[in-house]
Amino acid sequence: MPTAKIDSLDHEGRGVTRVDGKAVFIEGALPGERVEYVVRRAKPSYEQGETVRVLRPSAQRVAPRCPHYGVCGGCSMQHLDADAQAAVKQRILEDALRHIGKLRAGRILAAIHGPAWGYRYRARLGVRMVRSKGGLRVGFHERRSSYLVDMHTCLVLPPAISALLPRLRALLAGLSIADRLPQVEIAVGEGSTVFVFRNLLPFSAADEEQLAAFADAEGIQAWIQPAGPDSARPLHPADAQAPFYTLPEFGLRLDFRPTDFTQVNVDINRLLIRRSMQLLDPQPGERIADLFCGLGNFSLPIARLGAEVVGVEGSEVLVERAHANAARNGLAGRCEFHAANLFETTEDSLAALGRLDKLLIDPPREGAIAVVKAIDPSRAPSRIVYVSCNPATLARDAAVLVHEKGYRLAAAGIANMFPQTSHVESVALFEREPEGRTGQA
């Protein structure tokens, strides 16, 4: 069985080494370690492997806490100390900026940290009947597989939610349509927890009674979703109020439906908003665009600080939610929201938003390449804060901003939104270069 000394980690948290000139990516290995591994996939230019035995462990190696580690595909970095995880993610961000964007940030921001466990306030659990393996399974997908882990606990979920997983499985297994329930979506708000049961067939009256009894026993709201996300509705209590989260630093409350997109990590979201506002520095009299604004997560703090905000979002449902949240917080006079496909942004559609002094961009993994290409340097915002969940697309978009649009990458850093995983959330600040200077080494 081959052995190797590990040089670094890749963006998926795998150990990286070279053997006979070929890159080898080894799951479960850490930088500086010597490991024994088995090859799972061999290609002409690279191999993928899995650690069998650690011959010389890293000082940063820790014992994984989750009993499903190694099977579940959710938390691939549990074997690495939590502080070291943040350092690795910072390095991944810097490497992406350097190799893809040909850039270095003028300042590296301190990593944003939060709880390492029990942080995940949003989750979508798969449900599948597998009679050949003991019946119903509830959990995340197995690593490199479409199969589900039969989860009895999940340490990144809030402890109370993790503890009820066995009872949830027993509930679902007893329903008349147990084999027609593909997922359960969990949304934890302040003062309420919602379980949304996706049903491909109607529940029977007996099923609904069981769901209601489960909701009462566990102190949750039971919602059902017979079609798309907008079809979700409360089952018990029938008059259940939608969940919400607060941003105490800005005196804000944001209501959301359990199928809306919201950040999974409430603590890190608050810190990320604080960091973004510090970088953006909204001022009274400024007009600031918040692109991919969702239900107002960044828009409302910007407005609270005195600026005028124009938010743009692809989902009309979320635009309605943003309008309602602005009104609820007394900020309707400083906010306007529009629905538009930002992946088709043009110079004309961006110019139609009017004068923009500054810009905040918070796109999905695909990034915001159409937006950054549409910026007209002759009337470009003086400052852009870019919140990213994918270092590769951030680096690609940063290259356009710096090498083509006259900005400099003033600062960048990570927010450890998903501890124990290889997911990298980050924030970057771009500022306009003085006239006559473009590009950045």
331 and 421 together in one domain: yes
Tell whether residue 313 is among the known ligand binding residues.
yes
Confirm or deny that 261 is annotated as ligand binding.
no
Range of the domain at 4: 1-61
Any long-range contacts for 76-81 (C-beta under 8 Å, 24+ apart)? 76/12, 76/13, 76/14, 76/27, 76/143, 76/420, 76/421, 76/422, 77/13, 77/420, 77/421, 77/422, 78/420, 79/28, 79/30, 80/13, 80/30
Tell me how far apart the alpha carbons of residues 291 and 335 are, in angstroms, rounded to a whole number. 13
Does residue 173 share a domain with residue 103? no
Q: Within a domain: residue 245?
A: no
List 29, 232, 310, 389, catalytic entry: 389
According to the annotation, is 72 in a ligand binding site? yes
Of 151-160, 271-280, 412-421, 425-434, the least confident: 425-434
Report CA 367 to chain centroid distance, whole Å.
13
What is the radius of gyration, based on Cα positions, of the chain?
Answer: 23
**Structure tokens that stand for 244 in this block:** 């919400």
Number of domains in the chain: 3
Q: Is residue 142 part of a domain?
A: yes
Does residue 156 share a domain with residue 101? no
Gap between the Cα atoms of 388 and 165, Å rounded: 32
Q: Residue 220: which CATH number?
A: 2.40.50.1070
- According to the model, what pLDDT value does residue 438 have? 46
Separation of alpha carbons 427 and 108, rounded Å: 10
362 is in an annotated binding site: yes
pLDDT of res. 434: 65
DSSP 58: -
Q: Is residue 362 assigned to a domain?
A: yes
441 confidence band (pLDDT: 50, 70, 90): very low
CA distances (Å), 135 to each of 71, 184, 364, 381, in order? 18, 17, 36, 57
pLDDT of residue 435 exceeding 60, the answer is: no
Residue 33 sits in a domain whose CATH number is 2.40.50.140
Residues 169 and 216 placed together within one structural domain of the fold: yes
Active site residue 293: no
Co-location of 102 and 179 in the same domain: no
Q: What is the pLDDT of residues 342-397, one digit of tens each?
A: 999 999 999 999 999 999 999 999 999 999 999 999 999 999 999 999 999 999 99
Class of residue 224 by CB neighbours under 10 A (exposed 0-12, middle 13-18, buried 19+):
buried
Residue 436, pLDDT > 50, answer no
Residue 287 lies in a domain: yes
Residues 309-329, mean pLDDT to the nearest whole number: 97
Judgement on whether residues 314 and 386 belong to the same structural domain of the protein: yes
Tens-place pLDDT, residues 107-151 = 999 999 999 999 999 999 999 998 877 789 999 999 878 899 999
Q: Report the distance separating Cα 402 and Cα 441, nearest Å.
A: 10
Q: Which helix or strand (DSSP H or E) is residue 35 part of?
A: strand 34-42
Question: Average pLDDT of the chain?
Answer: 95
The answer to whether residue 51 sits within a structural domain is yes
This prediction has a pTM of 0.94
Residues 339 and 376 placed together within one structural domain of the fold: yes
Instruction: Looking at the structure, tell me whether residues 306 and 331 fall in a common domain.
Output: yes
The answer to whether residues 140 and 219 belong to one domain is yes
341 is in an annotated binding site: yes
pLDDT given at position 400: 98
- Span 26-32, mean pLDDT? 95
The verdict on whether residue 293 carries a ligand-binding annotation is: no
Dihedral pair phi/psi, residue 39, rounded to 5°: -80, 125
pLDDT at 440: 54
Q: For residues 145 and 356, what is the distance between their CA atoms, to the nearest angstrom? A: 46
Mean pLDDT for the stretch of residues 234-253: 96
